[in-house]
Chain A
Amino acid sequence: MRMTSQIGRLSSALALTLALTLAPGAQAKKKDKDAEASHEVPYASTYKAYPGRPTALVGATLYDGRGGRIDNGTLLFAEGKVVAVGASDLAIPEGYDRIDGTGKFVTPGVIDAHSHLGDYASPGVDANSDGNEATAPTTPDVWAEHSVWPQDPGFSRALANGGVTSLLILPGSANLMGGRSVMLKNVPAITVQQMKFPGAPYSLKMACGENPKRVYGSRGMKPSTRMGNFAVNRQTWIDAKAYMEGDHEKRDLAKETLEGVLKGEILVQNHCYRAEEMALVLDMAKEAGYKVTTFHHAVESYKIADMLREADVCSAVWADWYGFKMEAYDGIPENAALIAKEGACVVIHSDDQNGIQRLNQAAAKAQASGRRMGIDIPDAQVISWFTYNAAKAAGISDQTGSLEEGKMADVVLWNGDPLSVYTRPEKVWVDGAMLFDATNPRMRPVSDFELGQPGEGDVK
Chain B
Amino acid sequence: MSRILAFSASLAAIAAPLAASAQDLAVTNATLATGDGSEPIEGATVLVQGGKVVAAGVGIAVPAGVETVDGTGKWVTPGIFAAVSDMGLWDVQAVGDSNDLSADKSPFNASLDVVPALNPANEHIAVSREGGVTRASVTPFPGNAIFAGQGALIDLGADAALVDKPRAFQLVVLGEGGAREAGGSRMAAHVTLRNALREAKALAGASASAERASDALLTHADAAALAPVLSGEQALYVHVERASDIRAVLALKSEFPALKLVLIGASEGWMVASEIAASGVPVLTMPLRDLPEQFEVLGATQSNVGRMVKAGVKVGIGLFAGDNQPRRATEQAGNLVALTKLPGASGLTWAQAFAAITSIPAEISGMGGKEGVLAPGAVGDVVIWDGDPLELSSAPDAVYIDGVKQPFDSHQARLRERYKDLDRTYLPKAYAW
Q: Are A3 and B141 in contact (CB under 8 A)?
A: yes
> A2-B104, A338-B419 in contact; A10/B302 too (CB < 8 A)?
no
Of the four ranges (under 10, 10 to 19, 20 to 34, 35 or more), the interface on chain A belongs to 35 or more
State the CA gap A21–B93 with chains docked (Å).
12
Contact of A455 among B143, B264, B300 (CB under 8 A): B300
State the CA gap A371–B391 with chains docked (Å).
14
Q: Are A361 and B331 in contact (CB under 8 A)?
A: yes
B334 within 8 A of A: yes
State the CA gap A303–B423 with chains docked (Å).
11
Closest A residue to B333 by beta carbon equals: A421
State the CA gap A324–B90 with chains docked (Å).
9
> A10-B264, A324-B94, A424-B342 in contact; A354/B142 too (CB < 8 A)?
no
A70 within 8 A of B: no
Q: Are B394 and A342 in contact (CB under 8 A)?
A: no
Main secondary structure of the interface of B (DSSP, over half): loop
> A2-B102, A7-B102 in contact; A123/B393 too (CB < 8 A)?
no
Q: Are A3 and B102 in contact (CB under 8 A)?
A: yes
B308 within 8 A of A: no
B363 within 8 A of A: no
Q: Are B343 and A324 in contact (CB under 8 A)?
A: no
Closest B residue to A362 by beta carbon equals: B392
Q: Are B92 and A421 in contact (CB under 8 A)?
A: no
Return A311 CB to nearest CB of chain B, in Å.
Answer: 14
Tally the A-B contacts, defined by beta carbons under 8 Å.
217
State the CA gap A379–B268 with chains docked (Å).
37
Q: Are B341 and A459 in contact (CB under 8 A)?
A: no
Return B251 CB to nearest CB of chain A, in Å.
Answer: 20
State the CA gap A233–B422 with chains docked (Å).
30
State the CA gap A155–B215 with chains docked (Å).
51
Contact of A9 among B175, B290, B339 (CB under 8 A): B175
Closest B residue to A124 by beta carbon equals: B293
Return B109 CB to nearest CB of chain A, in Å.
Answer: 12
Q: Are B123 and A323 in contact (CB under 8 A)?
A: yes
Closest A residue to B335 by beta carbon equals: A421
> A368-B392, A424-B341, A439-B343 in contact; A342/B299 too (CB < 8 A)?
no
* Chain A residues closer than 8 Å to B323, beta-carbon distance: 11, 13-14, 16-17, 321, 324
Q: Are B416 and A423 in contact (CB under 8 A)?
A: no
Q: Are A122 and B92 in contact (CB under 8 A)?
A: no
Query: Of residues 297 to 335 in A, which have CB atoms within 8 Å of B's CB atoms?
Result: 302-306, 320-326, 328-334
Closest A residue to B96 by beta carbon equals: A2
Closest A residue to B422 by beta carbon equals: A306
Q: Are A422 and B419 in contact (CB under 8 A)?
A: no
Return A374 CB to nearest CB of chain B, in Å.
Answer: 8
* Chain B residues closer than 8 Å to A419, beta-carbon distance: 392-393
Q: Are B319 and A10 in contact (CB under 8 A)?
A: yes
Q: Are A455 and B301 in contact (CB under 8 A)?
A: yes
Q: Are A122 and B292 in contact (CB under 8 A)?
A: yes
State the CA gap A249–B290 with chains docked (Å).
51
* Chain A residues closer than 8 Å to B288, beta-carbon distance: 354, 357
Q: Are A441 and B344 in contact (CB under 8 A)?
A: yes
State the CA gap A334–B271 with chains docked (Å).
41
> A306-B422, A439-B343 in contact; A365/B392 too (CB < 8 A)?
yes
* Chain A residues closer than 8 Å to B337, beta-carbon distance: 421-422
* Chain B residues closer than 8 Å to A458, beta-carbon distance: 299, 301, 303
A153 within 8 A of B: yes
Q: Are A372 and B395 in contact (CB under 8 A)?
A: yes
The residue among B293, B327, B338, B394 with the most chain A CB atoms within 10 A of its own CB is B293
What 0/1 readout, one digit per residue, does chain B (162-181) give for beta carbons within 8 Å of chain A? Answer: 00000000000101110011
State the CA gap A342–B422 with chains docked (Å).
9
Return A300 CB to nearest CB of chain B, in Å.
Answer: 9
Closest A residue to B175 by beta carbon equals: A9
Q: Are A422 and B239 in contact (CB under 8 A)?
A: no
* Chain A residues closer than 8 Å to B202, beta-carbon distance: none
* Chain B residues closer than 8 Å to A161, beta-carbon distance: 290, 302
Return B240 CB to nearest CB of chain A, in Å.
Answer: 10
State the CA gap A455–B96 with chains docked (Å).
38
The residue among A305, A323, A334, A423 with the most chain B CB atoms within 10 A of its own CB is A323
* Chain A residues closer than 8 Å to B305, beta-carbon distance: none
What 0/1 readout, one digit per residue, does chain A (85-101) give for beta carbons within 8 Å of chain B? Answer: 00000000000000000
B101 within 8 A of A: yes
Contact of B393 among A333, A368, A450 (CB under 8 A): A368
Q: Are A459 and B344 in contact (CB under 8 A)?
A: yes
* Chain B residues closer than 8 Å to A320, beta-carbon distance: 325, 327-328
A460 within 8 A of B: yes
State the CA gap A328–B325 with chains docked (Å).
14
Query: Of residues 430 to 460 in A, which have CB atoms within 8 Å of B's CB atoms?
Result: 438-439, 441, 449-450, 453-455, 458-460
Contact of B102 among A6, A306, A321, A449 (CB under 8 A): A6
Q: Are B173 and A438 in contact (CB under 8 A)?
A: no
> A14-B324, A123-B295, A361-B331 in contact; A3/B93 too (CB < 8 A)?
yes
Q: Are B181 and A6 in contact (CB under 8 A)?
A: yes
* Chain B residues closer than 8 Å to A46, beta-carbon distance: none
* Chain B residues closer than 8 Å to A330, beta-carbon distance: 411, 415
Return B242 CB to nearest CB of chain A, in Å.
Answer: 9
What 0/1 readout, one digit per residue, does chain B (274-293) give for beta carbons within 8 Å of chain A? Answer: 00000000000010111111
> A123-B295, A153-B291, A306-B422 in contact; A3/B341 too (CB < 8 A)?
no
A415 within 8 A of B: yes
Closest A residue to B302 by beta carbon equals: A460
> A305-B422, A338-B419 in contact; A454/B338 too (CB < 8 A)?
no
Q: Are B322 and A324 in contact (CB under 8 A)?
A: yes
Return A273 CB to nearest CB of chain B, in Å.
Answer: 12
Return B289 CB to nearest CB of chain A, in Å.
Answer: 6
Q: Are A5 and B177 in contact (CB under 8 A)?
A: yes
What 0/1 readout, one digit per residue, does chain A (128-163) give for beta carbons within 8 Å of chain B? Answer: 000000000000000000000000011001000100
State the CA gap A305–B175 with chains docked (Å).
47
Closest B residue to A334 by beta carbon equals: B416
> A423-B338, A458-B303, A459-B303 in contact; A361/B416 too (CB < 8 A)?
no
What 0/1 readout, one digit per residue, does chain A (111-127) give for beta carbons within 8 Å of chain B? Answer: 00000000000111100
Q: Are B291 and A10 in contact (CB under 8 A)?
A: no
Q: Are A11 and B419 in contact (CB under 8 A)?
A: no
The residue among A125, A161, A367 with the most chain B CB atoms within 10 A of its own CB is A161
Q: Are A324 and B395 in contact (CB under 8 A)?
A: no
State the CA gap A455–B420 with chains docked (Å).
48
- Chain B positions near chain A (C-beta within 8 angstroms): 91-96, 99, 101-102, 104, 123-124, 141-143, 148, 173, 175-177, 180-181, 239, 243, 264-265, 268, 271, 286, 288-295, 298-303, 319, 321-325, 327-328, 331, 334-335, 337-339, 341-345, 390-395, 411-412, 415-416, 419-420, 422, 429
- Chain A positions near chain B (C-beta within 8 angstroms): 1-3, 5-7, 9-17, 21-22, 122-125, 153-154, 157, 161, 210, 302-306, 320-326, 328-334, 338, 342, 353-354, 357-358, 361, 364-365, 367-369, 371-373, 415-416, 419-424, 438-439, 441, 449-450, 453-455, 458-460
Q: Which 6 A-B pairs have the closest CB atoms?
A: A14-B322, A421-B334, A454-B299, A9-B177, A364-B392, A325-B94
10 A-B pairs with CB atoms under 8 Å apart are A2-B99, A323-B92, A329-B92, A333-B412, A354-B290, A365-B331, A423-B338, A424-B341, A458-B301, A460-B302
Q: Can you name 18 extra interface pairs (CB under 8 A) apart from A354-B289, A415-B342?
A: A2-B96, A3-B99, A9-B294, A12-B291, A22-B94, A304-B422, A323-B91, A323-B93, A328-B92, A354-B290, A421-B331, A424-B339, A438-B342, A439-B343, A441-B343, A454-B298, A455-B300, A458-B299
